[in-house]
Every structure is written in structure tokens, then in C-alpha cells.
């Protein structure tokens, strides 16, 4: 494995570098675009790799291995077949290919598994593997490929402490052999425990770099670097002034209480989108709900609101102290709830020609059984038929009308029969004048005794507008802060630190 550095340009002069022999952790608070850049770089490197196997039947090498959250294993194949998938040895008669040399390919896969300390039987079906074993197999694939760099997107997201320790021991072994390791994570504590250096990214820009010697000297040095890292990730100058909603009356009753709420991932029924979460809203109160895109914040509200996200939901919803049924959107509205969102699809459906179209959250559960759904936003539009297909899909889902729909709803909510308004990313795409109109409408609503739950990716918006902010991570409520709290406090809660 050669010593190679790989650069990922976020913008001119603003690059993340995966350096040979170094475990680098990239911590980001929001969408830096780095995962997309990594995938694009992987595609370029794969395209530049020589096609097929060279003379002698040896498999080609791949400079970069990307281990993403979808875990690129094929359940119908066994472990050895997954390790060698796409990099098989060929049998040849002189210049003529005679197909795959199964014996040599399986032997090479077994050797790669042994090289990374993986004791799985090569013949074990991949569909039987747990999360750590799936990652281990992908790292064995990187060893067989002779990759000089490995990039992992949140590898510890679904692992316990012991398995995370085992995983990073394997990665450390790669680094000791000169491989560059780049880990994309939203866990500052994990980064400080496992990495040689940390790069902090906010709003698509590198805002901090730290090396292990800065935080390893003493507990005080570690605490100082941790505090600096959290500030770098979230501490931006407020973009605007926010109207101050009136204080919640002391005698205000509880309009909404969600308790013990759990919902499962529609694509993986063993995983939880929401895990025993809950919140309460009083009359005259704006409650913020903060969390990263995979925190479960929007899934909590959507699954309560007519089971519009996840599957197998359970828990209890009370309105004005009375248990209500919100199993359909109609029942939720009848109970006094209303939900609206500028929906950014987190799932896509593959259609003819490799094109993928966005799938609204409300349709995911019903389409999951087709086997065509994948996590991730649709690929960027291209020219020709693909651009037209995506345009048609967005037209059918009325994307682009969300802002005006939400503004109209907020204008009327104060005088409506509904009592609690739940909004998901309502200001996304709005102009400044539209934002001001929305904020004023929310204040009018709580002055009229209504309740509001607001999800926003803009932390200053939540801390400036809401009476209090409930924070979620990994589907669970991790804490709560008051209006105007230190953003670093919220970062520690929502970055799973």
C-alpha cells in the first residue's frame, strides 16, 4: 500500500486532506457537502482504474475505498464473494479470458479477511452479519483492493462502545501500514478518543483543525480543545433579530404531551427512528426541536401526525390532558394538531435507467416493501431524460409551493380551531420578508393561546425565537435548554457528545 494523500476540495483553497498513515476525523454540524464530494472522488478514481484484470489474472487496485452508511454488501452473497466483488481473479489462456478463477479469488478473500483480523467463515451469508461484521467485511475488501485511502461515513453510528473500539483498532492497523483514514463523524468525543487529528467544518467551510498533541497532554487540555471544537461547529453570529414571543403564563395548561414514543425504520425494522421520545407544549409556548438530519426530530412529529414516518409506532399522545388517537392525518387534525414542512426527501426510489426520484416521507412506509427504496437524496439533475423525470416527480409532490403553503397556514392559525402547529424547517428557501411574516404569525398564534413546535436546522433561529429548545440525537431526547442558551450547550447535546 503506497503512501498517498487525497484532497477533497470544499471550495477553492478550502480542502480536507486524507493523509497517509493518519486517522483524520471530520466533524461537521450541518451539510458541508463533504460526503457528496467523497462519493464523487470515489467515482472518478474508479473510472480511472484500468478495466478488467491485467495480464496474469490479478485483480485491479482501487486507490480509495468508501464505506458509507448504506453498507455496500450484497445479502445473497457470502462473505468471501462480498470481499472480492468486482475485483475477482481471472482465468486466462494466453490473452483469452476464461472467466473467474473461483479458487484463487476465494483464497485471496480469505487472506484479506485474515489480514484485518476478521474470523468470519468465508462461506457465511452476508445477510446474517451484524453491523460490526458488515463493516469488517468492507475493510477486508479495502485490504484486497490495496486501497491507499479509506473513507468512512459515521462508522460508529450503530455500534456499541466495545465494537467501536474494535473497529478503530482495525483502522489503526491500516494507518500503521501507511493507509490514509478519513472518518466523517458528528461525535466530537469519539473523534478525540480515536483520531490523530480533527477537522471542524461549519457551513461548508473549515473552521478549525486540531492535532492529538493539543488535547492529550492533560485533562484540562482535553476539556479546552473539546470546548473550542463545539464552539467552532455551532458558534456563528446570529443572522437576524427575532421577535420575542410573550412569556408563557404561569397558569397556562398543557396543550400537547407526547410520551414514550417509538417508531421503527421502514427499511430496517430492527432499527429505531424514534426511541422512547417525548415532549410537551403549553398554551402560549413555542417549543423548538433541535437535531441533526438523522436525529429523529422530524420523524417524531411525522410519526405522531398520522404515522407519516417510520412504521410500528407506539406511545401516547395527549391533547388538553386527554389521550387521543392520531393514527391518521384526519384523526390528528381532528384532535387539534397540524403539521407542515418544507420536505427534503431522505429516501429515493430507483426507476428505469438508473434515475432516482425523491420519495416524500409520507410515502416511504407504503413503498418500503417494493425493495426499490434507498436512503439518500436523489442524485443531482442531469441533462436530458433524467432532468425531466426528476422535474416531473417534484411537480407531482408540489415541491416549491411549501413556503407559500406554510405562510398561508401561519396567517390563519391564530383564528383556527386547531391548537398546536408543528412545523418542519419552515423558513428553508424563504426570503427575509417571508421570514419576518412567518415569525410575526407565530407570535400572534401563541398570543392567541396556541402552541407551536418548530424544527429548524438554524440553531440561532431556535434559540432566538423559542421559549425553550428540546434536543434530540439518535432518536432520543438528549436534553433541553432555555431561550438564548449557549450554542455550545446545544451542540454537546445534538452532536451526541
What is the reported pLDDT for 227? Answer: 87
CA–CA gap between residue 66 and residue 64 (Å, rounded): 6
Model confidence at 454: pLDDT above 60: yes
Model confidence at 362: pLDDT above 70: no
Q: Where are the domains of the chain?
A: 6-234, 254-343+399-494, 347-396
- Tell me which residue has cell 464505506: 67
Closest by CA position to 240, among listed 469, 438, 481? 438
The mean pLDDT of 282-307, rounded to a whole number, is 92
Closest by CA position to 86, among listed 66, 60, 122? 60
- pLDDT tens-place string over residues 253-268: 999 999 999 999 887 7
CA–CA gap between residue 351 and residue 196 (Å, rounded): 42
Same fold, 6-234 and 254-343+399-494: yes
Binned at pLDDT 50, 70 and 90, residue 344 comes out as: low
Between the alpha carbon of residue 21 and those of residues 8, 150, 172, 180, 194, the distances in Å are 17, 11, 9, 5, 14
Quick one: cell of 52? 478488467
Question: What is the pairing mode between strands 311-319 and 468-473?
Answer: unpaired
CA–CA gap between residue 471 and residue 263 (Å, rounded): 18
Quick one: cell of 441? 404569525
What is the reported pLDDT for 71? Answer: 61
State whether CATH 3.40.50.300 applies to domain 254-343+399-494: yes
Q: Strands of 347-350's sheet, edge to edge?
A: 356-359, 347-350, 373-375
Query: Where does 160-310 show beta strands of DSSP type E?
Result: 180-185, 197-202, 205-211, 254-265, 268-282, 286-290
What is the reported pLDDT for 436? Answer: 94
Query: Where does 291-418 show beta strands of DSSP type E?
Result: 311-319, 322-323, 337-341, 347-350, 356-359, 373-375
Model confidence at 53: pLDDT above 50: no
pTM for the whole structure: 0.72
Determine the CATH number of domain 6-234.
3.40.50.300
Between the alpha carbon of residue 93 and those of residues 56, 58, 90, 133, 494, the distances in Å are 10, 14, 10, 37, 59
What is the reported pLDDT for 395? Answer: 40
CA–CA gap between residue 490 and residue 466 (Å, rounded): 14
Main-chain phi, psi angles of 206, to 5 degrees: -75, 120
Binned at pLDDT 50, 70 and 90, residue 52 comes out as: very low
- pLDDT tens-place string over residues 98-134: 667 788 888 888 998 998 998 888 889 888 888 889 8
78 forms beta bridges with 125
Between the alpha carbon of residue 103 and those of residues 56, 107, 120, 382, the distances in Å are 15, 6, 18, 42
CB 472 within 8 A of CB 481: no
Between the alpha carbon of residue 114 and those of residues 108, 137, 175, 247, 454, the distances in Å are 10, 11, 17, 63, 50
Amino acid at each position: 500500500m503506497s503512501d498517498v494523500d487525497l484532497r477533497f476540495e470544499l471550495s477553492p483553497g478550502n480542502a480536507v486532506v486524507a493523509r497517509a498513515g493518519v486517522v483524520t476525523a471530520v466533524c461537521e454540524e450541518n451539510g458541508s457537502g463533504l460526503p457528496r464530494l467523497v462519493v464523487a472522488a470515489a467515482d472518478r478514481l474508479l473510472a480511472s482504474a484500468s478495466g478488467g484484470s491485467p495480464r496474469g489474472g490479478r485483480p485491479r487496485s482501487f486507490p480509495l475505498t468508501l464505506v458509507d452508511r448504506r453498507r455496500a454488501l450484497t445479502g445473497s452473497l457470502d462473505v468471501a464473494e462480498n470481499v472480492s466483488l468486482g475485483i475477482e481473479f481471472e482465468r486466462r489462456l494466453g490473452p483469452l479470458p476464461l472467466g473467474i478463477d473461483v479458487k484463487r479469488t476465494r483464497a485471496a478473500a480469505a487472506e484479506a479477511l485474515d489480514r484485518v483480523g476478521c474470523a468470519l467463515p468465508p462461506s457465511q451469508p452476508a445477510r446474517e452479519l451484524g453491523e460490526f461484521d458488515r463493516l469488517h467485511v468492507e475493510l477486508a475488501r479495502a485490504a484486497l483492493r490495496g486501497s491507499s485511502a479509506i473513507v468512512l461515513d459515521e462508522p460508529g453510528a450503530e455500534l456499541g462502545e466495545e465494537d467501536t473500539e474494535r473497529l478503530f483498532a482495525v483502522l489503526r492497523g491500516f494507518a500503521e501500514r501507511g493507509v490514509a483514514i478519513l472518518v466523517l463523524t458528528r461525535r466530537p468525543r469519539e473523534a478525540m478518543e480515536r483520531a490523530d487529528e480533527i477537522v471542524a467544518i461549519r457551513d461548508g467551510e473549515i473552521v478549525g483543525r486540531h492535532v492529538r498533541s493539543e488535547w492529550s497532554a492533560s485533562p484540562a487540555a482535553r476539556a479546552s480543545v473539546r470546548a473550542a471544537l463545539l464552539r467552532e461547529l455551532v458558534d456563528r453570529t446570529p443572522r437576524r433579530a427575532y421577535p420575542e414571543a410573550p412569556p408563557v403564563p404561569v397558569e397556562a395548561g398543557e396543550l400537547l404531551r407526547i410520551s414514550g414514543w417509538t417508531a421503527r425504520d421502514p427499511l430496517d425494522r430492527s432499527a429505531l427512528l424514534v426511541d422512547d421520545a417525548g415532549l410537551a407544549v403549553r398554551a402560549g409556548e413555542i417549543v423548538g426541536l433541535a437535531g441533526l438530519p438523522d436525529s429523529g426530530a422530524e420523524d417524531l412529529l411525522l410519526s405522531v401526525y398520522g404515522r407519516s414516518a417510520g412504521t410500528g409506532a407506539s406511545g401516547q399522545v395527549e391533547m388538553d390532558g386527554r389521550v387521543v388517537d392520531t393514527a391518521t392525518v384526519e384523526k390528528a387534525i381532528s384532535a387539534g394538531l397540524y403539521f407542515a414542512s418544507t420536505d427534503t426527501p431522505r429516501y429515493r426510489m430507483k426507476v428505469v435507467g438508473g434515475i432516482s426520484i425523491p420519495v416524500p416521507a409520507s410515502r416511504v412506509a407504503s413503498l418500503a416493501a417494493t425493495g426499490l427504496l434507498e436512503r439518500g437524496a436523489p442524485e443531482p439533475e442531469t441533462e436530458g431524460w433524467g432532468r425531466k423525470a426528476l422535474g416531473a416527480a417534484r411537480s407531482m409532490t408540489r415541491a416549491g409551493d411549501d413556503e407559500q403553503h406554510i405562510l398561508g397556514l401561519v396567517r390563519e392559525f391564530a383564528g383556527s380551531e386547531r391548537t398546536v402547529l408543528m412545523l418542519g424547517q419552515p423558513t428553508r428557501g424563504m426570503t427575509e420578508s417571508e421570514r419576518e411574516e412567518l415569525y410575526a404569525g407565530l407570535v400572534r398564534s401563541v398570543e392567541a393561546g396556541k402552541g407551536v413546535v418548530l424544527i429548524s436546522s438554524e440553531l440561532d433561529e431556535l434559540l432566538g425565537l423559542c421559549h425553550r429548545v428540546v434536543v434530540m440525537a439518535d432518536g432520543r431526547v438528549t436534553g433541553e435548554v432555555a431561550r438564548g442558551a449557549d450554542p455550545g450547550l446545544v451542540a454537546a447535546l445534538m452532536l451526541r457528545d
